[in-house]
Amino acid sequence: MTNKIKFTKMHGAGNDYIYVDTTRYPIADPEKKAIAWSRFHTGIGSDGLILIGTSDKADFSMRIFNADGSEAMMCGNGSRCVGKYVYEYGLTDKTEITLDTLSGIKILKLHINGKTVSAVTVDMGSPLETGEVCFGKEYPFRSTQVSMGNPHLVTFVEDISQIDLPKIGPELEKYHLFPDRTNVEFAQVIGKDTIRMRVWERGSGITQACGTGACATAVAACINGLAGRKSDIIMDGGTVTIEWEEASGHILMTGPATKVFDGEIEADNGQPK
C-alpha cells in the first residue's frame, strides 16, 4: 500500500520549497525526503523541504531542510510562506503569528488582501555575530560574516555581473574557515539604500533569493557604511525590504509569499529501494 502525502509548493521571491502540514502528514526521514523530492527530474523540484508543525511555545513550528538534506536553523523566505499557508489553509485566523524555529521564536505579521496574504513582515530578531574576513592572496576581497541564526558571508563588489557564482559559491561555502559551511552572498550597491544581491545557498546552491541572506546583506551594508538602516535587497527572483530597527536592534523583513500549486506524492517517491 502506498502512503500519499499532500504538499504545497510555494515560493518567496523565487526561493521555492515544498511545504507539508505535519499535523496531517507526519514525515519520517525528512532529510532523505528533502533530497528525493527536491530533485527536478525524479521528484517535485525545489530548493528544499519545509515542515509545518505544532509547538508548545508558539502558534506553529517550522523545520527547514536544504536540497542536500541538511537541516538549517532558519529560513526567511520560508517563514513568510508558512504565514501565508497557515492563514489561507484555515489553520489560524490570526494575522500576527508566532513561529517556533531552531533559531528561536519569530513573529510574523500578515498583510491581508481580501482573503489572501500578499506579503508578510517577519521580526527576525537580532543579527548574532558579525565580523570581517580577509582571504589574503586566495580571494581579492574583504567579506563580512553575519549570523541570522544561520551563517552568511557577504561580499560587496563593484560589478556583480563579473562574479562567477557557480564556481566561487561552492568554494566559499566549504572554505576551511567555515566548519559548518556558510551561505554566500555577493552584493552591489546600485542606488541609495538599494542593493542587488545574488546568493549561493549552503546545501541548495544558487537560489533565486534568500531571506536570511537579504537580512545579512542589509546588516553588512549598514555596518560598512554602504546603506542606512532600511534597504531594498533585489535578488534574482524578487525584492525584500529589510529594516534594522534602532530601538530594538531587531531586523524586520518584508516581502512576498506566493503559492504555486497543491500536489500529492508517494512517501517513498525517488528514494533508493
Ligand X SMILES: N[C@@H](CCC[C@H](N)C(=O)O)C(=O)O
249 is in an annotated binding site: no
Burial class (CB in 10 A: 0-12, 13-18, 19+), 246: exposed
Beta bridge partners of 15: 12
Q: Is 134 a catalytic residue?
A: no
Query: Does residue 77 belong to the site contacting ligand X (CB under 6 A)?
Result: yes
In angstroms, the CA 87 to CA 84 distance is 5
Residues 123-142 that bind ligand X (CB under 6 A): none
211 is in an annotated binding site: yes
Nearer of residues 64 and 110 to ligand X, judged by Cβ: 64
Query: Does residue 208 belong to the site contacting ligand X (CB under 6 A)?
Result: no
Burial class (CB in 10 A: 0-12, 13-18, 19+), 89: middle
Nearest approach in angstroms of CB 2 to ligand X is: 30
In angstroms, the CA 19 to CA 89 distance is 12
In angstroms, the CA 163 to CA 156 distance is 11
Beta bridge partners of 6: 264
What are the distances in angstroms from CA 42 to CA 46, 51, 122, 206, 272?
Answer: 11, 21, 33, 20, 12
Query: Does residue 46 belong to the site contacting ligand X (CB under 6 A)?
Result: no
Q: Is 75 a catalytic residue?
A: yes
Show the site string, 139-178: x = touches ligand X by CB under 6 A, - = not: -----------x----------------------------
Q: Which of 75, 153, 154, 187 binds ligand X (CB under 6 A)?
A: 75
Query: Does residue 258 belong to the site contacting ligand X (CB under 6 A)?
Result: no
Instruction: Name the residue among 110, 116, 85, 88 with its Cα closest to residue 97.
Output: 110
Q: Which of 61, 66, 101, 103 binds ligand X (CB under 6 A)?
A: 66
Which residues form the catalytic set?
75, 210
The residues that touch ligand X, with contacts defined as CB under 6 A, are 15, 64, 66, 72, 75-78, 150, 183, 201-204, 207, 210-212
What are the binding residues?
A: 15, 66, 76-77, 150, 183, 201-202, 211-212
